[in-house]
A = this chain, B = another copy of it.
Amino acid sequence: MTAGNGRAAATGGEDADGREAAGPGAPGPAAAAAGAVVGRGRVSDTVAGVVRQWHAVRPDIDTGPMEIIGRVNRCAALLQQAEDAPLRRAGLTRPEFDVLGTLRRTGHELTPGEIARETFSSGAAVTKRLKQLTERGLVERRGDTRDRRVAHVRLTDAGRDLVDAVLPEQLTYETAVLSGLDGQEQSRLASLLGELLFQLEGRLGAPRG
């Protein structure tokens, strides 16, 4: 749309030539090294190709982290691109939808600062998005009576209707996108990602005590 980022390739990239360098049946040394972390890596994604390339030119390095971080980044890029599709139809960018969704799911008014914290974005960015959304009649603002610095933002009826219309489409789309994994795999993946996220938020995320 407009603000789509597309940050992706951690160390990710696709190998133009040797896509399946080592056959899966008789793994060569490079595949074995990559497989050390992947477990039984039957399928080959682009990150696996990158890992193989690194092993070829720098056999000494430990590519383990890349197999997680590279894939997380690449998956995020592809998923965001995919996710944007239903939103575009509603004339929304994902950051805009995040604002609306945050208001919808909390169920009450929020200040711009709260929205910024909820959506992990800067206050300035929220200011601009709220301006857009207000102009489109999707949110309303009202000043605080006690503290006249703060504003309170809420969804308009139109905004609420829009979220309620788009959300199911969005989730249906997402379900389809994830359907390559069966239920058990999805469950395990969600669980592991949850644990990783929990760890990351503890060590990197706001140590805001």
Q: Which residues of A pack against B, CB within 8 Å?
A: 5-14, 16, 37-41, 43-48, 50, 53-54, 56-58, 61-69, 71-83, 94-95, 98, 101-102, 104-107, 114, 117-122, 164, 167-168, 171, 174-175, 177-178, 180-181, 185-205
Q: Bound complex: CA of A107 vs CA of B185, how far in Å?
A: 36
Most buried by B among A11, A94, A171, A185: A11
Chain B residues within 8 Å of A75, by CB: 72, 76, 193, 196-197, 200
Q: Bound complex: CA of A5 vs CA of B6, how far in Å?
A: 9
Looking at chain A's contact residues, is the secondary structure mostly helix, strand, loop, or mixed?
A: helix
Report yes or no: B194 in contact with A43, Cβ–Cβ below 8 A.
Answer: yes
Chain B residues within 8 Å of A79, by CB: 10, 69, 72-73, 200
Copies of this chain present: 2
Across the interface, name the chain B residue whose C-beta is closest to A105.
B53
Instruction: Return 16 A-B CB contacts under 8 Å, by A number.
Output: A9-B102, A10-B80, A13-B98, A39-B190, A62-B175, A65-B174, A65-B177, A69-B83, A69-B177, A69-B178, A71-B190, A75-B193, A79-B200, A180-B198, A181-B192, A189-B189
Partner of A61, one of B56, B98, B171, B186: B171
Partner of A171, one of B14, B62, B74, B185: B62
Q: Bound complex: CA of A195 vs CA of B192, how far in Å?
A: 14
Q: Bound complex: CA of A19 vs CA of B76, how far in Å?
A: 25
Report yes or no: B187 in contact with A39, Cβ–Cβ below 8 A.
Answer: yes
Report yes or no: B189 in contact with A68, Cβ–Cβ below 8 A.
Answer: yes
Across the interface, name the chain B residue whose C-beta is closest to A65.
B174
